[in-house]
Amino acid sequence: MRLMPLDTDQPAMSIAPITLLFGVHAHQPVGNFPAVIDDAHLRCYGMFLRVMEGYPDFRFSVHFSGWLLDYLLEKFPDDMARLAAMTRRGQVEWFGSGDCEPVLAAIPHRDRVTQINTLADKIARHFGVRPKGAWLTERVWEPSVVSALTATGIQYVAVDDYHFLCAGTDATKLDSFYTTEDDGQRLDLFPIAEAARYRLPFSPAADAVAWLEDLARQGHRAAIYFDDIEKFGIWPETYAWVYEQKWLTQFIEGVLASPLIRTDTFAAYHAREKTRGIVYLPTTSYIEMNEWTLPAPQASVYHALVETEKAAGRWEAHKAFLRGGTWRNFMSRYPEANWMHKRMLEVSQRLAELPTAQRTAAMQEHLHRTQANDAYWHGLFGGLYLPHLRRAVWRHLLALEADLERISPSPALACRDIDCDGYDEIILHSDQLLAIIRKDGDAALAEFSSLTLAHNFGDTLRRHAEAYHQKIGADNTAATEKHGITSAHDRIAFIHDITPADATPDLRPRGIAIDTLIAADGTRHALTNYRHDDTPGQFVAEGEDWRVEKRYTLRSDTLEIAYRIASNIEGISAFSGQLETQINLAMPSCDGLGGRYVLADGSVPGGFGQALTLTSLAQLTLADSELGGGGVRLTAVPPLPTCSGQPHHTVSQSEAGFEKIMQAVCLTLRWPATGEWQRITLKITSAA
């Protein structure tokens, strides 16, 4: 066959436009301060919606967590009306998820279903549509979530392209959705482009549009973006960049003006296109999260390995094989997160076992709020280090537990391994209190909760070693770049003055009744060898010449911790030394104005954020306005010779920078060994 010569006068083959699938995710943690949410709406949510409203041809997708959506509907109805109007005209597609933003993989299947359905019902009620797509919290993927998603009508989710690379998918073919299945249940998966996440909105708008056009010229079907809306106004320096310097307006107008780019919703694209094929993703999250899940030494090794690969130019080729950890590692990294998680699972099981007629919507809401992801993990984001977020989880957990107790009371005494750490816990119940003691060598309280106040006074956090502590003392260079702005991932800033000493890790837990024996020569011996002596709530620790008995008793609104120190040498009744115990109490006001110490005569020696030194202490009340004026009244019989108090701080890093956060009041009590019982009582008080 004779080939005809190429006609160079013919027009070049037209380039098919690329479809921009643009989605934003909005969330605020359950328990966050109203002022923070108001500011987020002022600088981000409201601004974003008002800009988008002016461009009806720019289609996009949104996900709002249910808890945040409730707040915005109540406080900012005009902006929610804008969103509803954009939904009605087909500009906006809604994505669902768990109502209170749980990591679906971390909660039972039954709760995944109720969480997803609750938010879907809420969106349908207020915006007239039911989501076909779902946002995966922190993009944590485990195959087990497929069944709950499909059971609730979800047809597709968006996860990082990194997830696909870890499965060995060809990087050049991550421009459309794939299909996966679990136990025969099918779900489609859109790969979010990491390159888009790092460009939008940090590179100049014209550069971002040009990048999309280059993808079109390369033949890409779609550019897939779905990321935190907070990058558009809340992250450092983004408000000025996105709105005052009009990045968002320039980007939208650039996209709409380009013949090589068209916008669409995920739903419309999904309806007209075919899957690229079958894929099975491994358990993973986004790259940064996988690093954050690792303990500090391993995280440092991992980070150094990543930097080596980047310096050698091998990172893009090798990153799928350098995966770090998985989200559930946070439960093994942080005992405090693990305890909260396992207690949540317990109340979930108790609610599930309750006859349907006895369950209420309020109970279900309490459970959903205990499952909000933020307080269970920590990285550049995540709220484990934020006491008010942990407190919100405990408040709802204990409110639910109080409801369950009224229907089916727990026994006054139980013993089981709640947190799966290999040690049983002794659970003491009264009509008002819950005291849980670990049967490990410390024999300290793991939890001390008031059902009436819905507060866990044992909810504190020890100082953990964190890989980013190595940056303390680093010079924070200028945050702005010549072209664009710096992402929070690359920024070093300090909210407070912090020294390396502030981040020294704790060697023992920050519990209630952490004991140390002080010998006559002043040497200190941590009491980590307590054994349970088969009497409920009673423990014994022994050394060569001493014996310490420790006994817990719970009555209504009062916990008593009693100690007796004696000689272990035959013929000698007294031990010459002292015993010191550390009582860490999580007071909700922390170092704010609402928390103060009150002596028996009514005088106030200071607030929780101040140092305290007392002698001959018989009574001390920790009063907290966040508890409606209630608090903890400590009494000692006989009076204690010395008592000192100080705030316990941790050092953490957020997108705003390094900060010191008060976690608890740390009271240190000390008395001499007399051979007699020393009784310390903690009475939970309510407002007078």
- Per-residue pLDDT of 201-216, as tens digits, reads 999 999 999 999 999 9
Confidence of residue 483 (pLDDT cuts 50, 70, 90): low
Residue showing tokens 């996988």:
290
Q: Which of 374-383, 507-516, 524-533 has the lowest mean pLDDT?
A: 374-383
C-beta of residue 190 within 8 angstroms of C-beta of residue 224: yes
C-beta of residue 414 within 8 angstroms of C-beta of residue 510: no
So what's the pLDDT on residue 497?
75
Residues 6+ apart with CB under 8 A from 480: 237, 486
Q: What is the mean pLDDT of the chain?
A: 92
Q: How far apart are CA 547 and CA 575, in angstroms?
A: 8
Neighbours of 88 (CB within 10 A): 12
Lookup: tokens for 239: 């408000």
Confidence of residue 2 (pLDDT cuts 50, 70, 90): very low
Confidence of residue 236 (pLDDT cuts 50, 70, 90): confident
Q: How far apart are CA 399 and CA 369, in angstroms?
A: 11
Confidence of residue 408 (pLDDT cuts 50, 70, 90): very high
Confidence of residue 71 (pLDDT cuts 50, 70, 90): very high
Q: Which of 126-135, 342-351, 654-663 has the lowest mean pLDDT?
A: 654-663
So what's the pLDDT on residue 3?
44
Counting Cα atoms < 13 Å in the Cβ hemisphere of 615 gives 0
* Domain spanning 502-685, CATH class: mainly beta
Q: How far apart are CA 378 and CA 316, in angstroms?
A: 26
Run of H or E including 147: helix 146-151
- What Cα–Cα distance (Å) separates residue 678 from each residue in 35, 83, 275, 523, 620? 46, 63, 71, 21, 16
So what's the pLDDT on residue 687?
62
Question: Helix 66-75 and helix 109-127: axis angle, to 10°?
Answer: 30
C-beta of residue 49 within 8 angstroms of C-beta of residue 252: no
Q: Which of 74-83, 465-474, 585-594 has the lowest mean pLDDT?
A: 465-474
**686 has pLDDT over 70:** yes
Residue showing tokens 């009693």:
562
- pLDDT, mean of residues 666-686: 94
For residue 300, the Cα-to-chain-centroid distance in whole angstroms is 22
- pLDDT, mean of residues 619-645: 95
Q: What is the pLDDT of residues 520-564, one digit of tens each?
A: 899 999 999 999 988 889 999 999 888 999 999 999 999 999 999
Run of H or E including 436: strand 433-438
Q: Which has more pLDDT, 126 or 482?
A: 126
Write the burial class of residue 164 (CB in 10 Å: 0-12 exposed, 13-18 middle, 19+ buried): buried
Residue in 592, 586, 583 with CA at minimum distance from that of residue 644: 583
Q: What is the pLDDT of residues 102-154, one digit of tens each?
A: 999 999 999 999 999 999 999 999 999 999 999 999 999 999 999 999 999 99
Q: How far apart are CA 470 and CA 457, in angstroms?
A: 31
- CA R_g for the chain: 29
Instruction: Name the fold adopted by 20-285.
Output: 7-stranded beta/alpha barrel (3.20.110)
- pLDDT, mean of residues 28-55: 97
Domain boundaries along the sequence of the chain: 20-285, 329-451, 502-685
DSSP letter (8 states) at residue 282: P
Q: What positions carry a catalytic annotation? A: 138, 228
Is there a common fold for 20-285 and 502-685?
no
Q: Which of 4-13, 18-27, 85-94, 151-160 has the lowest mean pLDDT?
A: 4-13
**167 has pLDDT over 50:** yes
